[in-house]
């Protein structure tokens, strides 16, 4: 029995390493995806100031729908990665929606930028692990 124990222990450590890598891949995937969508949202917000009054209402409605869809993606990311920090991104997006509805576009842009920083922070550890393993 003693001869089998080191082998079983090695298998357990290898499975743990593979599990950590899988989690890092999922986290990295979602952080990059969410970051890209947040950057796109910020660019869309920038364009609101160039629109006429007749366009603003429709554009705001579309952006609110986009933010709500993004909140859904962030919820999926939180569940898949197990990282609670994604909830802070949702808080920023909810606040951005409120600012958007009040026509405070600069405040909404600032909140989206803060969400980008939070998302990046959520993925730093995963990215570092993947870099250490030469996977990215």
- The architecture that CATH gives domain 4-132 is Up-down Bundle (1.20)
| Residue extents of the structural domains in the chain | 4-132
DSSP for the chain, written as a single string: -TTHHHHHHHHHHHHHHHHHHHHHHHHHHHHHHHHHHHHHHHHHHHHHTTS-HHHHHHHHHHHHHHHHHHHHHHHHHHHHH--TTHHHHHHHHHHHHHHHHTT-HHHHHHHHHHHHHHHHHHHHHHHHHHHHTT--
- Does 3 have pLDDT greater than 90? no
pTM of the model: 0.83
Higher pLDDT, 129 or 16: 129
Residue 27 has what pLDDT? 94
For the stretch 115-125, pLDDT in tens is: 999 999 999 99
Residue 52 has what pLDDT? 87
């Amino acid at each position: 029995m003693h001869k089998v124990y080191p082998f079983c222990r090695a298998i357990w450590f290898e499975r743990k390493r593979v599990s950590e890598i899988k989690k890092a891949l999922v986290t990295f995937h979602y952080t990059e995806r969410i970051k890209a969508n947040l950057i796109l949202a910020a660019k869309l917000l920038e364009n609101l100031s160039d629109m006429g009054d007749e366009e603003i209402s429709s554009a705001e409605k579309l952006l609110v729908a986009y933010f709500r869809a993004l909140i859904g993606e962030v919820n999926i990311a939180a569940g898949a990665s197990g990282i609670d920090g994604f909830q802070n991104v949702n808080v920023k997006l909810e606040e951005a929606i409120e600012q958007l509805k009040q026509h405070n576009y600069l405040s909404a842009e600032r909140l989206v930028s803060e969400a980008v920083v939070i998302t990046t922070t959520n993925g730093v550890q995963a990215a570092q692990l993947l870099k250490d393993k030469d996977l990215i």
